[in-house]
Amino acid sequence: LLLKMKAEIRLAFELTPVMLHNMETSSHRGCMPETRTEWIAEILAWACSDSAQSIFWMNGIPGSGKSTIAQTIAMHPDILLMLVSHIFFKREKTSRHDILKLIAYRLAERNAKIASEVASRLNARTLTVRDTFVKLILEPLKAAEESGLLQEPIIIILDALDEYGTSETRVQLMQLFSDDFAKLPCRVRFLITSRPEADLVRALSSREHVKERTLDVHTEESKRDVSTFIATEMKKLVPAKSSVGFKWNEM
């Protein structure tokens, strides 16, 4: 029955394996060992907590390491069992498909009660982005919570959200993040990374349900991590039989 419901939902949402692969595949590697340790620890603590902050928004300039950290979190053994979807946006490749329906489908895959609730709403009128969120995500999650079937934390990663459409096409979605995401069950977590684009700042900054953190490349932690990266990459350049007496380790 669950397989049948999932198939019906996938068909109704027009989700194909290729589309899912394209939207949930990142080319980024994870962090090197012993780097970004403070960031990783903070995100893991948030993900496993009962905090009312349903969104962890990590913003920063291009190249500051946001997607690398997100990839590390997605691969972390403490997160793997919680991870519902890791959506990676890339402006020139990302499908313009409704990401809310993708999220609803992945939630239905994870939880039979959510699948039942989503399947029962497939014919519901969803005239706006908010209608879609309420009918296909919020209400099914609330029903699962009230039934006692939402015990474990679940996490969804939206990586490089600023690459999804434009500020004009994101208006309704940003309104959701600003207001309606505060109504999500406390077990539901969204890790969002983006550049500090104006519309994202307006939607996510200074909101009680958002834990906002800026990845500053000038901090001591960032400088230390860059030094670790350089040292590691330099060691890879050392030939198997380096010149005798050359003190590579002191570079």
Question: 3-state class of 166 per DSSP?
Answer: coil
State the Cα–Cα distance between residues 4 and 6, nearest whole angstrom: 5
pLDDT of 96 > 90? The answer is no
Tokens of 157: 């990663």
Residue 15 to residue 63: CA distance in whole angstroms: 31
Paired residues of 214 in beta bridges: 59
Residue 201 structure tokens = 């700042």
- Tens of pLDDT, residues 21-76: 888 887 778 787 788 889 999 999 999 998 999 999 999 999 889 999 999 999 99
pTM of the model: 0.85
Residues with Cβ within 8 Å of 205's Cβ and at least 6 positions away in sequence, in order, are 212
pLDDT tens-digit map of 164-199: 988 998 999 999 999 999 999 999 999 999 999 999
Residues 6+ apart with CB under 8 A from 213: 39, 42, 56, 57, 58, 59
- pLDDT 10s digits, 104-121: 999 999 999 999 999 999
Please check the confidence at residue 235 and state whether its pLDDT lies above 60.
Answer: no
Quote the pLDDT of residue 224.
Answer: 53
Per-residue confidence band for 225, with pLDDT thresholds at 50, 70 and 90: very low
- Average of per-residue pLDDT across 205-213: 96
CA 84 to each of CA 178, 221, 229: distance values in angstroms, whole numbers, following the listed order: 22, 30, 30
pLDDT at residue 205, rounded to an integer:
96
Looking at residue 251, its pLDDT comes to 47
Distance of CA 16 to the CA centre of its chain: 20
pLDDT at 219: 60
